[in-house]
Amino acid sequence: MRKTTITTDKNNFVFPPRKPRSDRGDVVFTSCSRCFPIDTQAIRNKILDLAIRGKLTEQLPEDGSAEELFRQIQAEKQRLIRAGKHKEEKPLPEISDEEVPFPVPPSWRWVYLGELFQHNTGKALNSSNTLGQQLEYITTSNLYWNRFELDGLKTMSFTDSELEKCTVRKGDLLVCEGGDIGRSAIWPYDYEMRIQNHIHRLRQYSKNICTEFYYYLLWFYKQTGRINGIGIGLQGFSAKRVHSLIVPLAPYDEAVRLVEIIKQAFSLLDTIDALQAQYADNLTVLKTKLLEAAIQGKLTDQLPEDGTAEDLYRQIQTQKQALIKAGKIKKEKPLPENTTEEIPFEIPSNWKWVVLGNITSKISSGNTPTGGRNSDVYVPSGFPFFREQNIYDDGIHQAGMVFISESLLATRQNSTVKAKDILLNITGGSIGRCALVPDDFDRGSINQHILIIRAVVPETRHYLHMLICSPYVQSQIKNNAVGDKDGFSAGRCKRLLVPLPPLAEQKRIVQKIDGAMKVFEN
């Protein structure tokens, strides 16, 4: 696998820039540099940036002005208040020039989102409240960007008064308060639905408000960090923050034109995404076949001068016993040797099936330090504290990196990461991702979602990393995950049955794989 170098300067970490990732799926496009990657996410952001600044359309006199539209909207709002369909609200302060995030055309104006949409959240789940009728409802787990997943909906009781507040109808803009805060979609169905309390329902005060424009605006605000959670632990996008979110108001006809331009551009980008995904899928199949051949001994010649894997295995056991006698590692209960029935495929005669724990000196996970959820233990610079979002097959990525102090690291001996270690994600959607720790790394630590795998003979680490990335080991990891978070334990990792070639052949295998990956990337 391609190796990424991380340089260190005392306790500070400097990373290579992370490669762009697709916004659809988990594939990193690193191949065919003449035509890929096209960073469609960046293009979408740029289109929306220009759109919400009024730079993708002409401002036509016949469109009228946002000021006229705003007065019309406020008149409609007052009509609803007089009819008892909306409560009188405390006036919001005038938006100052300092609060405006960017300039907009003269025919536009800045407003609060709550001045355009009537908004509220749904009903909190309460099993003891059984008044009303049992009806289906949706939660944030059903609401995604521009779509809904409605399989297996649950029901709860709604009274008539709750239905007025908690029912959504076609055209309503729904926004997540919790979870992936700000995630939004417009309800597209002709039938009504109920919402739980972690979803905001935004319903336009006037038909002359282009709701789709504000869906795209929320999407852009989320992508560029203008929408973030507030609070320690569970973060949320409160009703107050939704109401006071500052947004541009364009004349209706211009907003409609902008939405059409956005849709046309995004449709083209969706096509590009599909083509890139197809290309990446084909490339993934090719890489998979290559790794399968590699760990079966089909990429390299078996040379007599290499010796045998049995010789290497005995050398590893000798070194492991020396580490135990020196007090550098603890003696553990011997792991059972494999049986003939367990062998999944044939390997060359000079190779050997071994249990991973017998050729490693350490396989263990870490934990999150007390207070880590609230960032109380993290410091601006220090020793890296790796979390699952930092671990990728191509190396350690900087995004989301946090640091701990030397004094805290000293208390975490069992989860201290060292140079030449292998780090393996063992839970959730990133389970199986595996990174090599660079040779010049100092020290760091890990949380409970990562395993440290330390080879007895460090020269075997590149082959072991490639082996763990192979479809054979990946299937063992994912098919043996258990628990609510689909975790793969250190014990199961130790018992993995893996093929071991002689060391010289290991190096040739890794060279061939690295060479092939460079071809793919170019």
* Separation of alpha carbons 174 and 151, rounded Å: 18
DSSP 467: H
Supply the pLDDT for residue 83: 84
C-alpha count within 13 angstroms, C-beta hemisphere, residue 422: 30
Long-range contacts of 235-241 (CB under 8 A, 24+ apart): 235/178, 235/181, 236/177, 236/178, 236/181, 236/198, 237/175, 237/176, 237/177, 237/178, 237/181, 237/182, 237/200, 238/177, 239/119, 239/120, 239/121, 239/177, 239/200
Residue 187: name the closest of 202, 165, 205 by CA.
Answer: 202
Helix (H, G, I), strand (E, B) or coil at 15: coil
pLDDT in tens, 457-506: 999 999 999 999 999 999 999 887 765 555 789 999 999 999 999 999 99
pLDDT in tens, 257-266: 999 999 999 9
Does the structure show a pLDDT above 50 at 17?
no
Does the structure show a pLDDT above 90 at 517?
no
Supply the pLDDT for residue 4: 37
Give phi and psi for 385, each to the nearest 5.
Answer: -115, 105
Threshold 0.75, pTM exceeds: no
Supply the pLDDT for residue 398: 87
Q: How confident is the model at residue 22 (pLDDT cuts 50, 70, 90)?
A: very low
Q: How confident is the model at residue 33 (pLDDT cuts 50, 70, 90)?
A: very low
State percent of the chain over pLDDT 90. 61
* Separation of alpha carbons 318 and 330, rounded Å: 15
CATH superfamily of 7-38+279-521: DNA methylase specificity domains (3.90.220.20)
Q: Where in the chain is the domain with CATH 3.90.220.20?
A: 7-38+279-521, 65-250
Residue 165: name the closest of 189, 196, 139, 205 by CA.
Answer: 196
- Tell me what the mean pLDDT of segment 29-55 comes to: 76
Supply the pLDDT for residue 87: 80
pLDDT in tens, 156-195: 899 988 898 899 999 999 999 877 889 999 999 999 999 9
Domain 65-250 listed as CATH 1.20.1260.10 = no
